[in-house]
Structure 1
Amino acid sequence: MSLPQPVPPSWKDLGKSSNDLLGRDFPISGVQLEVKTNTPSNVAFKVNGTRDSKSALINGDLEGKYVDRKHGLVFTQAWTTSNILRTQVELENQIAKGLKFDLNTALTPDSGSKSALFTTTYKQPGLHSRAFLDLFKGPTFTADTVVGRDGFLLGAEASYNVTEGKVTRYATALGYSAPEYAVTLHGLGNLSTFAASYYHRVSPDVEAGAKAVYDTKATTSGVSLEVGTKAYLDSSAFVKAKINNSGILALGYTQALRPGVRASFGLALDTQRLNDASPSGAAHKVGASFTFEG
């Protein structure tokens, strides 16, 4: 008799452990500040600001989120410094258990451009399926499904342009997930790009991972490879390091200063140009991120 199957991850979360290990907590592009607060009336506010070290531009957004857990309703409104108004309405587990509806819209008053994406998600043990309808682009219908059994995962995605009457994009993935490790293989971009990722929790304090990408349409031949690791120094701090086959070494350090206050620092070095004294020519980067949550 087989064990009860858990709900598998969604298509976008296949390989998430490896992607998070190699992509998060490396603030190397500038300085970021994020402030999160919650009110007793189930309203959460988030203010996010980023200063890009290359362009010196400061971008930010203000977001408010209302959560009605009793009725499975989440309403989010955001306004960015680019004068983009974003609205998201989510409704979950009301019509059927595991069924979620999501409407995400964006409006730019200056240019009048707008977008609207309607999403339906259905989750059950062993199944995670989503369907998207882009109302203003195409319109385009996109669907993805992931099925899982005993740790094995199989997923596929396809996009269909309603106006042109043809499939515009398709992809597939195969993976295996266990409590201590996960392996995922992707065939993306109409099976023109292939990616393999690996994640391993070596011990409670050490994680390791790698990702390899081969693009059949790239002008340069070969496989792009990136490996990284994460080590907890104690319950409030950890360090991360990663390097790719181009010789770019990235280091990250995150420290919880106190409950709700976290600081991260990042450094990227081009190991092939360590002796380059020209700041404009060097590929070295440094940055920091500060998060306040109350």
Structure 2
Amino acid sequence: MAPAPVYPDLGKLARDLFKKGYHPGIWQIDCKTLTSSGIEFFTTGFASQDNSKVTGSLQSKYKIEDYGLTLTEKWNTENWLFGEIMQKDKLAEGLMLAVEAKFQPGSNEADGKFKLGYAQENFNFLADIGLNSEPILNCSLVLAHNEFLGGVGTEFDIGNTELKSWKVALGYTNETATLHGELKNGDSWLASLFYKANEKIDAGIEVVKASGGGGGGENPDEQEQGGNNVIVSLGMIYHLEEDALIRAKINNVIELGLGYEQKLREGITASISAVLDCNNIKDGNHRFGVGVALQC
């Protein structure tokens, strides 16, 4: 059987249903290719419709299967350089070791972290620690029993011996439904349900309460709602045919999200989306977006 998921993947199906495929206020292009020598390149670019600011990144990844190594390099338009060396499953089945570093030549700012993970069928442990002068230790553990999942995560400041944050999660998953609940620092929580009704329809519900009295959902359109303490969102994906689908979502502050995705040909997928402020149709903060994904 597959190992238990890492903590960041708990509730991912519902989270993707409300986030993936929506591009409010931006133009986005993603390009992915694999060379004959086995090097994978991934390029992504964003252009804001508000201020015409363009950002992007270029990433390359190379796997050395005989040694279980994955070498990753990345550069972005903020002139940050990233690098990671990861080894997985060679020293022991389920064991992952990695070193990550980033550097900005213009300011000579640098940082890095060491990562450790160990996964088996019934548990998944993941930790990383900063390599700078004020290291932060992040740890998470997920336990799995049949269809039930439980997880805990902490962020600890080693230099000041201070617990900065904590979170706990419970979940249930099977072939058609995934239920997820999470509590963070005792003052914010979320609950979500992903349900695969049939081969054509995926549906979900998400309830988020953020700390400080804001809406604070995962989506940008939810994060801006500061006057509502709890955000309730409903969403669905309808697969029209093999190469096309429609997305829709709505929340309790009457923001409506709509999206359409079409596979134009092998390796080319285009999507359009909109987030509409239904409280003020005439002058509301309506945002539209376009995305193109290329793969070869």
Aligned identity (percent) is: 26
Aligned to 2:4: 8
SS in structure 2 of the partner of residue 136 of structure 1: coil
The alignment's TM-score, normalised by the length of structure 2, stands at 0.92
Taking the aligned partners of 1:135 and 1:231, their CA distance within structure 2 comes to: 46
Aligned to 2:189: 194
Match for 1:230 among 221, 231, 237?
237
Is structure 2 residue 111 aligned with structure 1 residue 109? no
Is structure 2 residue 145 aligned with structure 1 residue 149? yes
The CA deviation at 1:137 is 6.4
SS in structure 2 of the partner of residue 225 of structure 1: strand
Taking the aligned partners of 1:284 and 1:231, their CA distance within structure 2 comes to: 23
Q: Spell out structure 1 runs of 4+ moving beyond 3 A.
A: 219-222
CA deviations 1:223-278 (Å, max 9, x no partner) are 211110000000001010001111111111111111111101111110011122xx
Contact 1:154 1:173 in 2 (8 A): yes
Contact 1:209 1:229 in 2 (8 A): yes
Aligned to 1:72: 68
Aligned to 2:17: 21
Q: Which amino acid aligns with 2:146?
A: D
The CA deviation at 1:216 is 4.8
Q: Which amino acid aligns with 2:287?
A: K
The CA deviation at 1:10 is 0.9
Q: Which amino acid aligns with 1:241?
A: A
SS in structure 1 of the partner of residue 275 of structure 2: strand
Q: Which amino acid aligns with 1:217?
A: G
Listed as ranges, the gaps of 5+ residues in structure 1 are 277-281
Listed as ranges, the gaps of 5+ residues in structure 2 are 215-226
The CA deviation at 1:150 is 1.2
Aligned to 1:287: 289
Aligned to 1:279: none
Q: Which amino acid aligns with 1:168?
A: K
Taking the aligned partners of 2:112 and 2:253, their CA distance within structure 1 comes to: 39
Aligned to 2:267: 260
Taking the aligned partners of 1:221 and 1:45, their CA distance within structure 2 comes to: 42
The alignment's TM-score, normalised by the length of structure 1, stands at 0.93
Taking the aligned partners of 1:255 and 1:131, their CA distance within structure 2 comes to: 39
The CA deviation at 1:138 is 2.4
Match for 2:276 among 269, 274, 281?
269
Aligned to 1:124: 120
Q: 1:268 to 1:93 in 2, by over 3 A?
A: same
Taking the aligned partners of 1:286 and 1:52, their CA distance within structure 2 comes to: 11
> Once structures 1 and 2 are overlaid, which stretch shifts more, 38-47 or 212-221?
212-221
Is structure 2 residue 205 aligned with structure 1 residue 210? yes
Contact 1:27 1:252 in 2 (8 A): no
Q: Which amino acid aligns with 1:284?
A: H
